[in-house]
A = this chain, B = another copy of it.
Amino acid sequence: MTNKIIEFWFDFASTYSYLTAERIEAMAESNGLVIAWKPFLLGPIFKSNGLVGSPFTSNKPKRDYMWRDIQRSAKIYKIPFISSTVKMPQNSLLAARVALCLDDGAQRAAFTRQVYRAQFAHGKDIAELATLADILANLGHQAAEILVQTQAAEIKQQLFANTADAQTKGIFGAPSVITQDGELFWGNDRLEDAMAWAVK
């Protein structure tokens, strides 16, 4: 029997997606599931749903709570996290394009995890070429080659298509997980429910 696929939809600028990126691989493995790594852009979806930007940007009490909540959750999960130096919101466009230049599997998974770590454990700006080049080099990739590749029309089109696909599937936020039978789960706090659904 082939393993079932679960789609993990993320925007690199999404704070709660960091927690899911850190947790999903071990959970998928123990449930016999294969992850499809799906970078997309929340911005156009927010706009299309009538939002000016992320609710965390415009709503200060919600943003303050979010940082505190992620800090508590990271402690429970034993995930490194510093909020004090995290720039927000980050521009996730280039990181998403890099992710699409890498194979959907171990390569994209490792890159994704490192981008989130750079942002939330080390306070880096993920829109900077240097941040992404360092991550790529540390993972053994030809950084310059991949950064050039991000500007190809095909990669830009893939990100556009992923975002359109996300919206078609009902996604309005990140992290989102979609099981093979099409069930949508939104939020890091629904990851356990998504796993249970996927294997039932």
Chain A contacts to B: CB under 8 angstroms: 49-51, 55, 58-62, 64-65, 68-69, 72, 76, 167, 170-173, 184-187, 189-190, 193
Contacts and interface: CB of A to CB of B under 8 A. Distances in A.
Main secondary structure, interface of A, reads helix
Central interface residue in A65, A69, A189, by most chain B CB within 10 Å = A65
Q: How many chain copies?
A: 2
A59 B193 contact: no
A59 B62 CA distance: 17
Contact of A186 (B58, B69, B187): B69
A50 B58 contact: yes
B173 A62 contact: yes
A76 B108 CA distance: 34
23 contacts: A49-B58, A49-B59, A49-B60, A49-B61, A49-B62, A50-B58, A50-B59, A51-B59, A59-B172, A61-B167, A61-B170, A61-B171, A61-B172, A62-B172, A62-B173, A65-B184, A68-B184, A69-B185, A69-B186, A72-B193, A76-B193, A187-B189, A189-B190
Contacts of A60: 49
Contact of A170 (B55, B64, B190): B64
